[in-house]
Structure 1
Amino acid sequence: MRIKGIGAALAAAVLGWSTGAVAQPANLEARFDSVLGTQPRAAAVAPASHISDLQQRVAALAEPSRGRIGVMAVDLSTGQEVAVLADQRFPMASTSKIAVAATFLEGVEQGRWTLSSEFPLLIPRQSARFSSAVAPVTQGRYMPAIDLIEIMIARSSNPATDALLAAVGGPGVVSNWMRRNGITEFSLDRDIATLVRDDGEFNPAIHVDVRDSATPRAMVTFLRGLHEGHYLSPTSRQIILGAMSRTVTGQRRIRALMPMNAQVAHKTGSLNNTSSDVGIVTLPDGRAVAMAIYVTGQGTRLEREAKIASIARVLYDGFSSTPATQTLAQQRFEQGSGRIIGN
């Protein structure tokens, strides 16, 4: 359902946030819920007096006066979390391609096909927006599956993605794979040719569309499971993470402000008025941080990318300054509050 007449209401909802002295992510999320009609949720963080300095810095960068911004990051060694609108749906765009690769590679492990099996690129044919449920495509040249996975992730090839989607049985199969692995806030509904052709129906800065969307928390949960080897064999895991480390798209996003020697394995996404980047960044001491940053609005694509880069660097510096010996319980228990911050 499209939300109309939202401009004034949204401005009123964020007024207190954009002018307040202290960042309050829980209040921010509640404001969006009341304006956008998203489902109410239990508080994901402690009260403002117990919010970590890192959480406040990220929340300040993610203020929503020019469009929704969702952030989720987890130190995979200590369990420390940073979350801003992490349970709200955002357009995945091409960040969903990691899940497509995982679904296909499970089929390889089950013997349904091999990495050398060849499939045709699926090239979109010209068609009017919304003129059909599925955009027409034509077969291109055949390529081995291992090469399709590489260009799907590292170069974000849409024809390669649709080739692998067709092989596994369509977008719904990918969504089912995620659900089987415990990730429910993820929905892939259209192939890439259709998604791109029909892009622009809604403005993601002010509209929550559950189609082809995920929450930042769901994406980080997926990245964590992938990194820790919960879903696939070591070989399949390395195929995906290796391709992510060779990503050539989005050089102005997560990677942009990182130190030159920082290890970054990531996947970008772009659609109308939305830019995103998700991945795993290795800290100087070897700890890994999984992060998902979804940015809508902000004026231009360059401004969205700059926002992603700034948030990613604050996360990198903030997690780097946290001692590796600090435990999950120490990270998440605020002395005197009498509560553990919820998952």
Structure 2
Amino acid sequence: MKNGLILRALSALAVIGSTMAPAVAAPAPGKLESSFDKAFSVETRTQKPGVVKAPVSILPVQAWQQPSGPTTYASSLEATVAALANAGQGRIGVAATDLGTGRTVSVLGSQPFPMASTSKLAIVATFLQGVDQGRFSLSDRYPLMVPVPSAKYSSTVAPVRAGATMTAWQLIDRTIINSDNQATDALLRVVGGPAAVNKWVRESAGLTGFSLNRDIATLVRDDGQYDPARVVDQRDAATPLTMVQLLTGLHQGRWLSQSSTGVILSAMERCVTGKRRLKALLPGEARVLHKTGTLSNTSSDVGIIKTPDGRDIAVAIYVTGQGGKSFRDSRIASIARAIYDGYLSEASNFRRTAAR
């Protein structure tokens, strides 16, 4: 009884003490939310029970700020491309190389951009290396990987099921010509997943600035976690300069046999996607071997432009934002034409100078 009275008295004193204690000023909401967002992101802070939210990437994901101050360009062509690649409405990355002279132009060329389906070139090249090594055959048959409906971010890897079987050659054509995601994931599974492609890019091609992290089914399902116009996400990304180096090596047959090189280049020349991108403003006599990419708020086209006078130009253009897909396509087309005209003009000036 005595102990019970003492406990009740202490509790009463605690309540009285808490009501008399001076109030502690709460942090300003803006500062608190800002510091919290830096650590955990707005996605985490605003989660609601029962709703699957985008996971916080443990890889470097940074907000992008447009460079301030004057920029010096290596040539008038690069300055022209930079003007067309103005990032006021979203990041635009460009790289191009005249394979005859080695002359390169670059605008944000060392910054990672979402590869989207342009990564399919590296996936196919990885498979073709296996063909050259005798591990696979173009006549081997594999099933398409068909996505099974699932909620965004509900699993690390989106579920898929086996579909109709096709030859590897058919899968390659569908992957590059039609940008078929199910065919791509079939090849990706055969070679050993994204890690095998990254290994081929690093060790066989000797390139950095490329990272494939997810299969296409997962990439498409979870698309939209970050806005590529404002955020640099290193996942499933490559720099334009790296992509130009990849295109150059594939075109020159550095890493694959002559027959395997022919398989991938032939498919690129027959690509049916992106008619309003690289090809749109080029003269009809120019040949384009290319691969497009499209995801939320980003469009791209990478390839080899073959000019009527026998020049080969490797080009990679990644465009984000701009207010819509049609505007992104238009920006790609205008940049491609400027690169085409610029390199031809340089070649013409060189010939005139040499003739004097």
With normalisation by structure 2, the TM-score equals 0.79
1:293 aligns with 2:325: no
- Counterpart AA for 1:107: G
- How far 1:236 sits from its partner (Å)? 0.5
Residue deviations 1:4-45 (CA, integer Å, cap 9, x gap): 8xxx994xx4675xxxxxxx5xx3xxxxxxxxxxxxxxxxxx
Partner of 2:259: 235
Counterparts of 1:143-158 in structure 2 under 5 Å? Answer: 143-158=166-181
Runs of 4+ in structure 1 displaced over 3 angstroms? Answer: 1-4, 13-16, 324-327
- How far 1:260 sits from its partner (Å)? 1.1
- Going from structure 1 to structure 2, the CA distance change for 1:155 and 1:87 (only over 3 Å counts) comes to same
8 Å Cα contact 1:3/1:207 also seen in 2: no
Q: 1:111 aligns with which of 123, 126, 134?
A: 134
Identity %: 55
- Going from structure 1 to structure 2, the CA distance change for 1:102 and 1:9 (only over 3 Å counts) comes to closer
Partner of 1:173: 196
- How far 1:283 sits from its partner (Å)? 1.4
- Counterpart AA for 2:209: E
Residue deviations 1:161-218 (CA, integer Å, cap 9, x gap): 0000000000110011000121111000000000000000000001000000000000
> 1:104, 1:119 → 2: CA distance?
12
> 2:41, 2:293 → 1: CA distance?
24
8 Å Cα contact 2:198/2:211 also seen in 1: yes
- How far 1:155 sits from its partner (Å)? 0.3
1:123 aligns with 2:146: yes
> 2:295, 2:105 → 1: CA distance?
25
- Counterpart AA for 2:161: T
- Going from structure 1 to structure 2, the CA distance change for 1:324 and 1:79 (only over 3 Å counts) comes to farther
> 1:211, 1:148 → 2: CA distance?
25
> 2:64, 2:143 → 1: CA distance?
48
> 1:217, 1:324 → 2: CA distance?
25
Paired residues, what number?
293
- How far 1:249 sits from its partner (Å)? 0.5
- Counterpart AA for 2:150: S
Residue deviations 1:129-182 (CA, integer Å, cap 9, x gap): 000010000111000000100010000000000000000000110011000121
- How far 1:222 sits from its partner (Å)? 0.6
Partner of 2:208: 184
> 2:154, 2:87 → 1: CA distance?
34
> 1:84, 1:170 → 2: CA distance?
31
8 Å Cα contact 1:216/1:294 also seen in 2: yes
- Counterpart AA for 1:86: G
With normalisation by structure 1, the TM-score equals 0.82
Q: 2:112 aligns with which of 89, 92, 106?
A: 89
> 1:3, 1:265 → 2: CA distance?
41
Partner of 1:139: 162
- Going from structure 1 to structure 2, the CA distance change for 1:157 and 1:314 (only over 3 Å counts) comes to same
SS in 1 for 2:339: helix
> 1:14, 1:132 → 2: CA distance?
37
Higher radius of gyration, 1 or 2: 2
Counterparts of 1:1-343 in structure 2 under 5 Å? Answer: 10=65, 13=66, 27=71, 47-48=72-73, 51-180=74-203, 181-323=205-347
SS in 2 for 1:321: helix
Gaps spanning 5+ residues in structure 1: where? 17-23, 28-46, 331-343
SS in 1 for 2:142: strand
